[in-house]
Amino acid sequence: MATRDKIEQLSASTSDAAGQRLTSNQGLPILDDQNSLKAGERGPTLLEDFILREKITHFDHERIPERVVHARGVAAHGVFKVYASQAAVTRAAFLQDPEVETPVFVRFSTVAGSRGSSDLARDVRGFAVKFYTTEGNYDLVGNNMPVFFIQDAIKFPDLIHAVKPEPHNEIPQAASAHDTFWDFVSLTPETLHMIMWVMSDRAIPRSLRMMEGFGVHSFRFVTADGRASFVKFHWKPLLGVHSVIWPEALQISGQDPDFHRRDLWNAINDGDFPEWELGVQIVAEEDEHRFPFDLLDATKLIPEEMVPVQRIGKMTLNRNVDNYFAETEQVAFHAGHVVPGIDFSNDPLLAGRLFSYTDTQLTRLGGPNFHEIPINRPLSPLHNNQRDGMHRQTIDRGRVAYGPNTLGGGCPMQVGSRDGGFATYRESVSGPKVRQRGDKFFDHFSQAVMFFNSLADWEQEHLVKALQFELGKVESAAIVERMLGLLHHIHIPLACRVADGLGVAVPVGIERPLNRSVPADGDATKFESQAIDDSLPPSPALSMANRPSHGIRTRRIAILAANGVDSAAVHVLQDALLAAGAQSRIVAPHGGRLRCADGSEMRIDHSLLTTSSVMFDALFVPGGADSVATLLGKSGAVHFVHEAYWHFKTIGAFREGCGLTQAAGVHSHYGDGDGDEIDSGVVAWREGELTELVDDFIDAVAQHRHWRREMKALARS
């Protein structure tokens, strides 16, 4: 039996508890593991109790060191299929045959927080995909943002040390709103483009299923005849790109810090399999230098208007993990795990990752054999001369562990490139040894300007508030001043709006910085100036406002009800939502069951004490005089509606239900059968047929949020 089959058999044997006998880790049948071995019933415990020692020792070592970054994660299994052969741009086998399903394992994560932090922290999200291809494992290890904070890996320890809890008091957890982070940012202008992304709503996704993924770096595709092109990788979610707003994120963190991992788990369990299309931006080798930015700079992206994203395949996540530790926690990704047809560029940030990932796994997973852990093991056979090392699982036969050899028949033999062997792209390299960067690397503002100018007005407003919150937590006035000076060079009204919220003035006379530290005296005016081309036009693809509606599949709708509810209306709504792929939940003042107006009963999913509006995408209040009268007497019900309204969600009400929405101050006009056109996202009818109202309600929910409501409120204030 093959080694992998043995491993899978052993793994599977632990999942079926029927008829199992308790044994030690060596297979010894155990008579009693409820009592330690003692000298007499009340005597001292004996050192010879090897069963006790084995059990306690294993417990003592159940926790491996958590990842320094990306510690909090959730993962799932799935498959990937390419739409058509990509032989014209790459020889990678898994990108050739549309009939072949390639197994994948995907891990999502936050970056800064520990394993016990909240899913809803304002943070970058890791988006790592392991393809189990016929040519070995390929790991596309990226994020939900297309750029990164720094240009060179040598700065990565500084970045992470700055954003992590401050070392003197280990505060704050999973948050960048503190002095050390903004001190680093204010002295490192290359971070500014990424800061725009992290302060935007992209940093607080509605669901892991509703966020994009990016490979960040420029990689290379290589064809069978050795032709290369640059490639940027994108993951496009078929549910669309959506976020929550900051007040919601704060509430969700308190009510359900596992919100994202629970959402992913439940969706897969319910058969609502998350899907993403793999997109690529291809740049010919001869076009490497035609852009106003450098393709090797990880703080820059290629606007989709310059190089369109070609969607070449689809990934579907269709199975949850069986064991979190064995799979999600022990999976080892590495940007250096590539297959023939995919190669690296000279991106200096990528170069550091190619070293760091293996080095990290040696510490976390106990030695060089972490590739033998089942979740990491390739599907293709392994043959090499590597032996021994901690946690070795393969039992190699034979006397030969070297090459070249004759005693082993010359095996394992090298594979020629024509036969599928990996061949590094033959790039010409020359130049002196220097610690420098290309000239285009020093433009730290153009793409930050482009990103901000590409956002809708409500997206800009959220970004401003995020900066006000983050910098409002900074105690050092000098750091705040430096940051406002940098923001001034991105967008003057942006800097002024942030400064207004902080109650300070925007400094003037600060010249744009090169990529170097502020002088030791902290005088930001001593930055050297440079001419920056801010002529990059806005990129509509960067704004979530320009994403098309993707229906309401998997959306969660709260139905507020109490005893005496109109059951017919509830059933009509539930059937319509189910047909549209959404989920409805009955929320009532208490748990248990509801007595409906017609004498029937229905099950309650949540009480007002166990949930809140932030856990749902929209809400509906059906009719029923007694039901609405009860809800009007519950402050929690009124607050539920009011809160959802000011989180800009769709509100639906029918007949008597309009009384509850009116009490919550939702709107001042009710339709008479033609719908409500006064307030965006409010669908409330006092008369008419519910079936007509439901269609309007579903259309409104598909918009995700109704930002016009927010902008009107801001205009009035």
Q: Is the dihedral of CA 160, 161, 167, 169 positive or negative?
A: negative
Bridge partners of 212, per DSSP, are none
63 phi/psi in degrees, rounded to 5: -105, 120
Is the preceding omega at residue 348 within 30 degrees of 0, hence cis?
no
701 phi/psi in degrees, rounded to 5: -60, -35
Report the C-alpha dihedral over residues 256, 261, 266, 272, rounded to 10 degrees: 130
Pure H helices in 548-652: 567-579, 625-632, 635-646
442 phi/psi in degrees, rounded to 5: -90, 5
The verdict on whether 669 is a catalytic residue reads no
585 near 558, Cβ under 8 Å? yes
Bridge partners of 595, per DSSP, are 601
CA 268 to chain centroid, in Å, comes to 16
Q: How many CA atoms lie within 13 A of 111 on its CB side?
A: 26
CA distance 229 to 441: 21
Please report, for residues 243, 481, 565, 568, 579, the alpha-carbon distance to residue 651 in angstroms, rounded to integers and kept in the order given.
18, 42, 18, 19, 19
Task: Determine how β-strand 682-685 pairs with β-strand 650-654.
Answer: parallel
CA distance 495 to 626: 53
Please report, for residues 51, 172, 249, 334, 667, the alpha-carbon distance to residue 122 in angstroms, rounded to integers and kept in the order given.
46, 13, 8, 25, 32
641 near 669, Cβ under 8 Å? no
Q: Which among 143, 144, 369, 563 is annotated as catalytic?
A: 143
Q: Which among 70, 193, 647, 706 is annotated as catalytic?
A: 70
CB-count exposure of residue 704 (10 Å: 0-12, 13-18, 19+): buried
CA distance 319 to 101: 15
248 near 647, Cβ under 8 Å? yes
The verdict on whether 269 is a catalytic residue reads no
CB-count exposure of residue 189 (10 Å: 0-12, 13-18, 19+): buried
Q: How many CA atoms lie within 13 A of 15 on its CB side?
A: 9
CA distance 671 to 650: 16
Task: Determine how β-strand 73-82 pairs with β-strand 310-320.
Answer: antiparallel
Helix (H) or strand (E) holding 438: none
Q: What angle do CA 343, 347, 353 make, to 5 degrees?
A: 80
CA distance 35 to 72: 36
Q: How many CA atoms lie within 13 A of 187 on its CB side?
A: 19
145 near 234, Cβ under 8 Å? no
Task: Determine how β-strand 228-237 pairs with β-strand 219-222.
Answer: antiparallel
Q: Which of 499, 496, 606 is nearest to 559 (CA)?
A: 606
427 is written with which tokens?
């790039």
Please report, for residues 566, 567, 686, the alpha-carbon distance to residue 690 in angstroms, rounded to integers and kept in the order given.
11, 12, 10
539 is written with which tokens?
């990129």
Task: Determine how β-strand 102-110 pairs with β-strand 73-82.
Answer: antiparallel
Amino acid at 78: G
CA distance 364 to 620: 48
Hey, which residues are catalytic here?
A: 70, 143
